[in-house]
Chains A and B, each alone.
Chain A
Amino acid sequence: MSGHHISSAKFLWGVALALFVLTFITVAVTWIQIPEPWNIVVAIAIAVVKALIVVAFFMNLWWDSKFNVLLFIMSIAFFLLLIGITLLDTLYRVDPVPSF
């Protein structure tokens, strides 16, 4: 059954361990001063990986029904739409009155 996946305790600990390690890494990379946009990229990338691990193995989406996966993907997709299209405005605005 899709809904009743039972993970072993060892597996759950493993997942948590991976998350702890990634947390450490994301803090550690700030010590080595990566140049501008890349530090953000790395920080977000690590956060995405962590989030995906939680979603897949703590929230059991890995074993879940396709529609629940789709729901999750949909929420992310529409979130990105919201951001992406709004940035089309805010990043490319020319102030009508420059001193404003």
Chain B
Amino acid sequence: MSQPSATEERLEHLKHYFIDSDQQFEASKMGMWVFLVTEILFFGGLFLAYIVYRAWYPELYLLASEELHTFWGAVNTVVLIGSSLTVAMAIRSAQLNQIKGLIINLWITIGLACVFMVIKYFEYAEKFGKGILPGGYYTYEGIEHEQANIFFSIYYMMTGLHGIHVLVGIGLMLWLVYKAKKKVFHSGYYTPVEITGLYWHLVDIIWIFLFPLLYLID
């Protein structure tokens, strides 16, 4: 059985209805995976709308994606992958009890996430300026297609929802930094870091699909 060891005195995190830290950790991680399942199906609906309309109006997608800048899309992809790397490094630091490394990596991740949002902001602003607004407010005349507004509705829904997830991720990571500074995490307890990491990677994965689907149509 478990030897009473140095970790024993650090068990403030253990809830009474769990038997040991391992059970608690595994339960939280499974809970996060279940949540990710719901996220995948949540975005799945949007992907469905995307696919159905793409099958109906392939030429619309060709025309409309001209308005998106592949370069900035690619930059954002690289930024998000980079942030995935730093989150993974943050978890590694926590596992090795390197709290300073954890905090630094979290800050880098937050920074990259902000870069992503700033780029997204400029992309949106540029489109808004042209009159490519969502839904009924669409006034742009550069695309010769009756359903052009629908492409951009889907575009805004997908990237908008993704953007909201990025913002939530930033919030979560700020909270992790705060907790880490209060010395809550150590190699025996870093569950919140781990599961926030899982969430962040999923946000990255969704972008990995959005990038070719929206920007790389030619």
For the complex formed, measure the closest distance between the CB of B154 and the CB atoms of chain A, giving whole angstroms: 15
List CB contacts (< 8 Å) of A13-52 with chain B: 13, 15-16, 19-20, 23, 26-27, 30, 33, 39, 43-44, 46-47, 50-51
Residues of chain A lying within 8 A (CB to CB) of residue B82: 16
B71 nearest CB across to chain A (Å): 9
Complex Cα distance, B78 from A17, in Å, reads 10
Q: Using a Cβ–Cβ cut-off of 8 Å, how many residues does chain A contribute to the interface with B?
A: 46
Binding site for A on B (CB under 8 A): 22, 25-26, 29-30, 33-34, 36-37, 40-41, 44-45, 47-48, 51-52, 55-56, 70, 74, 77-78, 81-82, 84-85, 87-89, 92, 95-96, 197-198, 201-202, 204-205, 208-209, 211-213, 216, 218
- Pairs across A and B, CB under 8 Å, 18 listed: A2-B26, A4-B95, A12-B92, A13-B85, A20-B81, A26-B212, A43-B213, A43-B216, A50-B205, A54-B84, A54-B201, A65-B26, A71-B36, A74-B37, A75-B37, A82-B45, A90-B52, A91-B55
B81 touches A3 (CB 8 A): no
How far does the alpha carbon of A67 sit from the alpha carbon of B30 in the complex, in Å?
8
Question: Quick one: which of B29, B41, B202 contacts A68, CB cutoff 8 A?
Answer: B29
Instruction: Give chain A residues whose Cβ lies under 8 Å from the Cβ of B44.
Output: 78-79, 82-83
Sort A-B residue pairs by CB-CB distance and give the 7 closest, nearest first.
A43-B212, A16-B85, A75-B37, A79-B44, A75-B40, A68-B33, A19-B81
